[in-house]
Structure 1
Amino acid sequence: MPDTTKRICLWSSPRNISTALMYSFAQRKDTTVVDEPLYGHYLTSTDADEYHPGAEDIIADQRNSAEEVIEEVIFGSYETPVVFFKQMTHHLVDLDWTFLEGTVNVILTREPKDMLLSYSKQVAEPTMRDVGYAKQLELVDYLKGIGQHPMVIDSKEILMNPSEKLSELCSYLALPFDEAMLSWEAGPRPEDGVWAPYWYDSVHQSTEFNSYKPKTETVPNQLRDLLVECEEIYQQLKGVG
């Protein structure tokens, strides 16, 4: 029988609202959500396990083979007709991207200054590989090359008008918008990855998409070159139509 499951991959930069979006989609009765299934693969394929908090627990908890994740998780069987995979773009290392032909792909990006100020609290000296902007642009080009037209969303736009932007996202996904997506109960969810204690404190305190508030701090000197690189790519991503 043909596969009728709609498999959505949200390819996010880090310290974005990707977890809030996962919680949002978890409110839909037609949707199962899965949290960063390729994290273990990423940690075992790079040296990121040396500086990511909780790396040992993540590696022990997840399948570390990208091939197994793709076959058994991304293309596994689910009871719901829709599956939403919260993904980090920088996890797309050392694996065959052709599986993307069978998924609906959305790019979630964020103003680099806001991202870096948040991310550097956990990883003091991130590189472009860690923050994923260059990989997001590479992903857009790849998807266009296989005939897809990925939607690129700026998280700020969702925070400024959740109902409108989620409606646009659902329209792109050929799904009806559900008002239930606008709020959720505070606290952890069963779908949370084991890394939640290190990264999810803010979203666990939320019950909806928080209002957008730009960060006012100054980016540390050691991150300014990376900020310039990210800003250039961010502007290109915003121009994707």
Structure 2
Amino acid sequence: MWSGPRNLSTAMMRSFSSRADCFVSDEPFYAAYLKATGLDHPMREAVMASQPQDADEVVRQIMGPVPGGKNVWYQKHMSHHMVEGFPLDWMDEVTNVFLLRSPERVLASYAQKRESVTLADIGFEGQAMLFDRVAQRTGTAPVVVDSDDIRRNPEGTLSALCAAVELSWDPAMLHWPGGAHAQDGVWGPHWYNAVYNSSGFSPPDEIGPLPGWLAEIADEARPFYERMKGFRLGA
């Protein structure tokens, strides 16, 4: 599952973790991304210590047997983590799905967690690049799901997603235990407070106008979002 930050990505990881047949992994390239870029993110040292910092090693791990004897491996990936030079050939051997959220909603949420933000931080350009790569190599657009559709109609949208990736529908995906989960990244205490306090999908919330500098970033991101959104389930 490819998304940017603040895209409902952790709630979706929770949803799939509720399936009895599924193991989930949380942003396995995060430490490798921080090492490659030198960026100063919240809890940087803890993140770096918690995961392999070599992208090739990450690929070896995520392409191995599904942990826990499960049949399905849900891997939550951030598109902006795939910096230049990181291997991408492994994507040809998995089912790639793209999770969208409007730039305005992403930025309104992201700005609550970090004082600075750039277009690169929210992943839209990288997500569109990966989308194009999958489409070109498979000859068809990959599956796209919009977080607003999930929040408005969780059962309908998630059951359509399962059908699109040839999984049986499991109503357990609509609910999960609150609090931290064992597969959460160590960065969870900084980023996941809303998910910790949830046990299912909530309806879309209202957001006010963005400050001018964030609105400018939203305008930069919108063409990437709109192009992928045209392929979303139910479009």
Normalised by the length of structure 1, the TM-score is: 0.91
The letter for the 1-side match of 2:53 is: N
Paired with 2:128 and 2:169, the residues of 1 have a C-alpha distance of 28
Counterpart for residue 118 of structure 2: 127
Cα distance change, pair 205–228 in 1 and its aligned pair in 2 (3 A): same
Deviation at 1:73, TM superposition (A): 2.8
The letter for the 1-side match of 2:179 is: G
Q: Which of 23, 28, 49 is equivalent to 1:37?
A: 28
Q: Which of 45, 51, 54 is equivalent to 1:65?
A: 54
Paired with 1:46 and 1:11, the residues of 2 have a C-alpha distance of 20
Query: 3-state DSSP class of the match of 2:42?
Result: coil
Paired with 1:125 and 1:236, the residues of 2 have a C-alpha distance of 26
Paired with 2:47 and 2:105, the residues of 1 have a C-alpha distance of 26
The count of corresponding residues between Structure 1 and Structure 2 is 229
Gaps of 5+ in 1: 1-9
Q: How large is the RMSD of aligned CA atoms in angstroms?
A: 1.3
Q: Which of 127, 141, 149 is equivalent to 1:157?
A: 149
Deviation at 1:76, TM superposition (A): 4.0
Cα distance change, pair 47–120 in 1 and its aligned pair in 2 (3 A): farther
Q: What fraction of aligned residue pairs are identical, expressed as a percent?
A: 36
Q: Which of 2, 6, 12 is equivalent to 2:3?
A: 12
Paired with 2:180 and 2:113, the residues of 1 have a C-alpha distance of 20
Normalised by the length of structure 2, the TM-score is: 0.94
Counterpart for residue 236 of structure 1: 227
Gaps of 5+ in 2: none
Are 1:185 and 2:177 matched, yes or no? yes
List per-residue Cα deviations over 1:136-182 (Å, max 9, x = no partner). Answer: 11111100111153111110000000000000110011010000110
Query: 3-state DSSP class of the match of 1:104?
Result: coil
The letter for the 2-side match of 1:85 is: Q
Paired with 1:220 and 1:96, the residues of 2 have a C-alpha distance of 37
The letter for the 2-side match of 1:90 is: H
The letter for the 1-side match of 2:57 is: E
Deviation at 1:56, TM superposition (A): 0.6
Query: 3-state DSSP class of the match of 2:24?
Result: strand
Query: 3-state DSSP class of the match of 2:96?
Result: strand
Paired with 2:154 and 2:183, the residues of 1 have a C-alpha distance of 22
Deviation at 1:203, TM superposition (A): 0.5
Counterpart for residue 80 of structure 2: 90
Counterpart for residue 71 of structure 2: 81
